[in-house]
A and B are shown apart, each in its own frame.
Chain A
Amino acid sequence: MKLLPDGALDRLQEGCRTIGSRCNQLGISQWEVVASQSYGHQIDIEGGKISLAGGGGEGGYGVRVLEDGKFGFAYLVDVKSADEAISSAISIARMSPSIDGFVLPSEQSAKKVAGLFDKSIIDLDSEYLLNQADAIISEVSSLDARAVVTGGGIGVSANAASILTSEGIESGGLTTSHGVGVQVSIEENGQLTSSWQSKSAKSKLPNVPQCIERAVEWAQLTRDPIKVDPLEDDSPILMTSEGFSPLFSVVVPTAIKGEKLVRNESFWSGKMSENVLSSDLSIIDDATVESGKSSGSRDDEGVPSRRNVLIKDGKLTSSLWSTRDSAQQISEGRIESAHTTGSAIRSGHQSPPVSGCSNLFLTSSKKSHSFESMIEVMGDGFVINSVMGAHTANPTSGDFSVTSSSILRVENGEIIGAVKQAGVSGNMANALQEGVFLGDDVRPQGSYSSGTMYVPSVLLTKGIRVNPV
Chain B
Amino acid sequence: MVLAKTPDSMVSRNDNRYLDVDKINKSLDLVTSNGATYAEVRLVALNDYSVAMRDGKLERAIPGQEIGATIRVLADGAWGVHSTTDISSLQEQMSPTLKLAQSVAARRSAKDRPIKLAEVPIIEDSMHWVPKKDVRNTELSQRLEHMKLMNSSASEHENIVSVTCGWHDENIHTEFLSSEGMNRTWSFQRSLINGMVTARDGGNVVSYRTRFGGEGGLELIESCDVDALGENARISALRLLKAQRAPSGKMPLIADRDLTGVYIHEALGHPCEADLVAAGDSCLDGKLGQKIGSDLVTVIDDPTIRGGYGAHPIDDEGLDTIEKCLIKNGVLTEYLNHRETAEHFGIKPNAGARAQDGLHHPLVRMSNTLIHGGTHNDLDDLVDDVEYGVYACGSRGGQVDTGRGSFQFAAQEAWLIENGEITTPLKDVSVSGLTLQILKDVDGLTKESRLAAPGFCGKGQTVPVGDGGPIMRISEALVG
Q: Work out how many contacts link A and B, with CB atoms closer than 8 A.
A: 234
Chain B interface: which of A165-173, A206-214, A357-365, A418-426? Answer: A418-426
A424 to chain B: closest residue by CB: B480
Known contacts being A53-B103, A185-B403, A394-B207, is A403 close to B430, with CB within 8 Å? yes
Contacting pair A47 B58 (CB below 8 A)? no
Inter-chain contacts of B409 with A (CB < 8 A): 389, 392
Contacting pair B65 A77 (CB below 8 A)? yes
B66 to chain A: closest residue by CB: A77
Contacting pair B397 A95 (CB below 8 A)? no
Quick one: which of A52, A73, A351 contacts B361, CB cutoff 8 A? Answer: A52
Chain A positions 56 through 74: 1 when the CB is less than 8 Å from some CB of chain B, otherwise 0: 1111100000000001111
Q: 8 Å CB contacts to A: which residues of B90-127?
A: 93, 96, 100-101, 103-104, 107-108, 112
Contacting pair B161 A264 (CB below 8 A)? yes
User: What's the nearest-Cβ distance from chain A to residue B104, in Å?
Assistant: 5
Complex CA distance for A351 and B64, rounded to whole angstroms: 10
B427 to chain A: closest residue by CB: A399
Known contacts being A55-B100, A400-B428, A423-B248, is A97 close to B58, with CB within 8 Å? yes
Chain A positions 360 through 399: 1 when the CB is less than 8 Å from some CB of chain B, otherwise 0: 0000000000000000000000000000110110101101
User: What's the nearest-Cβ distance from chain A to residue B276, in Å?
Assistant: 8
| B279 interfacial by beta-carbon distance below 8 Å | yes
B56 to chain A: closest residue by CB: A97
Q: 8 Å CB contacts to B: which residues of A57-113?
A: 57-60, 71-77, 81, 85, 88, 91-92, 95-97
Inter-chain contacts of B229 with A (CB < 8 A): none
Q: 8 Å CB contacts to A: which residues of B156-173?
A: 161-162
Quick one: which of B80, B103, B161, B359 contacts A127, CB cutoff 8 A? Answer: B103
Contacting pair B103 A60 (CB below 8 A)? no
Quick one: which of A57, A59, A76, A130 contacts B65, CB cutoff 8 A? Answer: A76
Contacting pair A467 B248 (CB below 8 A)? yes
Contacting pair B84 A394 (CB below 8 A)? no
User: What's the nearest-Cβ distance from chain A to residue B12, in Å?
Assistant: 25
Quick one: which of B141, B280, B428 contacts A148, CB cutoff 8 A? Answer: B280
Chain B interface: which of A187-195, A288-296, A314-322, A452-460? Answer: A187-195
Contacting pair B410 A392 (CB below 8 A)? yes
Inter-chain contacts of A96 with B (CB < 8 A): 58, 60-61
Known contacts being A97-B58, A399-B427, is A54 close to B81, with CB within 8 Å? yes
Contacting pair B396 A392 (CB below 8 A)? yes
Inter-chain contacts of A405 with B (CB < 8 A): 401, 404, 406
Contacting pair A389 B64 (CB below 8 A)? no
Inter-chain contacts of A50 with B (CB < 8 A): 78, 104, 107-108
Chain B positions 169 through 207: 1 when the CB is less than 8 Å from some CB of chain A, otherwise 0: 000000000000000000000000000001010011111
Contacting pair A54 B80 (CB below 8 A)? yes
Contacting pair B161 A57 (CB below 8 A)? no
| A437 interfacial by beta-carbon distance below 8 Å | no
Inter-chain contacts of B205 with A (CB < 8 A): 264-267, 269, 396-397
Chain A positions 188 through 229: 1 when the CB is less than 8 Å from some CB of chain B, otherwise 0: 000011100000000000000000000000000000000000
Inter-chain contacts of A424 with B (CB < 8 A): 480
Complex CA distance for A193 and B480, rounded to whole angstroms: 23
| B35 interfacial by beta-carbon distance below 8 Å | no
| A241 interfacial by beta-carbon distance below 8 Å | no
User: What's the nearest-Cβ distance from chain B to residue A451, in Å?
Assistant: 19
Complex CA distance for A425 and B249, rounded to whole angstroms: 12
| A401 interfacial by beta-carbon distance below 8 Å | yes
| B478 interfacial by beta-carbon distance below 8 Å | yes
Contacting pair A58 B161 (CB below 8 A)? no
Inter-chain contacts of A187 with B (CB < 8 A): 280, 403
Secondary structure class of chain B's binding surface, majority of residues: strand
Contacting pair B480 A467 (CB below 8 A)? yes
Contacting pair B58 A389 (CB below 8 A)? no
Question: Interface size bucket, B side?
Answer: 35 or more
Quick one: which of B200, B278, B279, B428 contacts A425, CB cutoff 8 A? Answer: B428
Contacting pair B67 A77 (CB below 8 A)? yes
User: What's the nearest-Cβ distance from chain A to residue B230, in Å?
Assistant: 18
Inter-chain contacts of A59 with B (CB < 8 A): 85
| B420 interfacial by beta-carbon distance below 8 Å | no
| A150 interfacial by beta-carbon distance below 8 Å | yes
| A350 interfacial by beta-carbon distance below 8 Å | yes
Known contacts being A60-B66, A97-B57, A263-B161, is A467 close to B249, with CB within 8 Å? yes
Inter-chain contacts of A53 with B (CB < 8 A): 78-81, 100-101, 103-104
| B350 interfacial by beta-carbon distance below 8 Å | no
Inter-chain contacts of B144 with A (CB < 8 A): 95
| B62 interfacial by beta-carbon distance below 8 Å | yes
Contacting pair B480 A391 (CB below 8 A)? no
Chain B positions 216 through 257: 1 when the CB is less than 8 Å from some CB of chain A, otherwise 0: 000000000000000000000000000000101100000000
A386 to chain B: closest residue by CB: B401
| B140 interfacial by beta-carbon distance below 8 Å | yes
| A333 interfacial by beta-carbon distance below 8 Å | no
| A257 interfacial by beta-carbon distance below 8 Å | no
Contacting pair B81 A265 (CB below 8 A)? no
| A126 interfacial by beta-carbon distance below 8 Å | yes
Complex CA distance for A402 and B403, rounded to whole angstroms: 18
Complex CA distance for A151 and B278, rounded to whole angstroms: 11
Inter-chain contacts of B406 with A (CB < 8 A): 388, 403, 405, 421
User: What's the nearest-Cβ distance from chain B to residue A73, in Å?
Assistant: 6
Quick one: which of A60, A71, A95, A127 contacts B141, CB cutoff 8 A? Answer: A95
A351 to chain B: closest residue by CB: B62
Chain A positions 401 through 427: 1 when the CB is less than 8 Å from some CB of chain B, otherwise 0: 111010000000000000001011100
Complex CA distance for A366 and B245, rounded to whole angstroms: 33
Complex CA distance for A400 and B397, rounded to whole angstroms: 12
Complex CA distance for A364 and B144, rounded to whole angstroms: 47
Contacting pair B280 A130 (CB below 8 A)? no
Complex CA distance for A20 and B80, rounded to whole angstroms: 38
Inter-chain contacts of B399 with A (CB < 8 A): 388-389, 391-392, 403
| A26 interfacial by beta-carbon distance below 8 Å | no
Inter-chain contacts of A351 with B (CB < 8 A): 62
| A1 interfacial by beta-carbon distance below 8 Å | yes
For the complex of A and B, list the 3 residue pairs with the smallest distance between their C-beta atoms, beginning with the closest.
A423-B480, A392-B410, A54-B81
Can you list 15 residue pairs at the A/B interface with Cβ under 8 Å? A50-B104, A52-B81, A54-B81, A54-B82, A57-B83, A57-B84, A77-B67, A130-B104, A264-B162, A265-B200, A388-B406, A392-B408, A392-B410, A397-B207, A421-B432
- Measured CB to CB, the residues of A under 8 A from B are 1, 46-60, 71-77, 81, 85, 88, 91-92, 95-97, 126-127, 130, 134, 148, 150-151, 183, 185, 187, 192-194, 230, 263-267, 269, 350-352, 388-389, 391-392, 394, 396-397, 399-403, 405, 421, 423-425, 465, 467, 469
- Measured CB to CB, the residues of B under 8 A from A are 57-58, 60-68, 70, 78-86, 93, 96, 100-101, 103-104, 107-108, 112, 140-141, 144, 161-162, 198, 200, 203-207, 246, 248-249, 275, 278-281, 283, 359, 361, 396-401, 403-404, 406-410, 427-430, 432, 434, 478-480
Known pairs A263-B162, A265-B200, A467-B478. 6 more at Cβ < 8 A? A50-B108, A193-B404, A389-B397, A392-B409, A392-B410, A423-B432
